Amino acid sequence: MSDFKAQDLSISLQKKLLGKMAKKSLAKLFIDDISAQLLDNLHRLSKFNGQYEKKESNKIVKHIIKLIIKTAIIAKNDCFTDDDLTDAEILKEEFRSICMTIVSFHELDFSYDRNYLISSLDKCKQTLKRLLKKYLSNKSMDRIEMIFNFYTKPEFLDTFFRQTDGEIKHLRDDIIRDLSILLEKGLI
């Protein structure tokens, strides 16, 4: 008896195809306008992370888009088990908490706590990897590591939260606005 399942093959092909086509136009099918705007602002911000070249900065946001699309495909096809759905709910709560923390750090002077944020992001990364490890390739798992490593560089976070003027401050204002809207609408 064969282990072949058309649905498994279909999902695999969808992930591969959409992963290769992770462009702005395709992302709009899975990502609302405010989230797309947030990703654009994160892309602009990522260019300021001194450890990465522009090419690497572009890759980071592309990896985020691929991850969103692949996760949406898995969810759309009801592949998640009950345990996975529990992890997904935990991930959603962790991510929402991180977003609220970032907004709070921006709104309340001297509240920024780098170690707390890095710890929270690491916890979120571990939950995300646990949720997706049986559905995505090792290459995709490496992309998750790359994304989180990119945004948890201490110098980068310090610059992002402590800049009082200039382009990074304006980008932070835009990112906080986008996060606030997404939080208010319950999309995060």
3 token code pair: 């282990």
Average pLDDT of 163-187?
90
37: confidence class by pLDDT, cuts 50, 70, 90? confident
State the pLDDT at residue 77.
84
State the pLDDT at residue 7.
54
Residue entry with tokens 């970032």: 102
Beta carbons of 16 and 137 less than 8 angstroms apart: no
Taking 50 as the threshold, does the pLDDT of residue 1 lie above it? no
Q: What is the pLDDT of residues 84-116, one digit of tens each?
A: 999 999 999 999 999 999 999 999 888 999 999
Average pLDDT of 132-138?
92
Closest CA to 178 of 71, 20, 21, 31: 31
Specify the CATH number of the domain 6-184: 1.20.1440.160
pLDDT > 90 in the chain, percent:
46
| CA separation, residue 21 to residues 16, 69, 80, 141 (Å) | 9, 10, 23, 19
Closest CA to 40 of 29, 51, 53, 28: 28
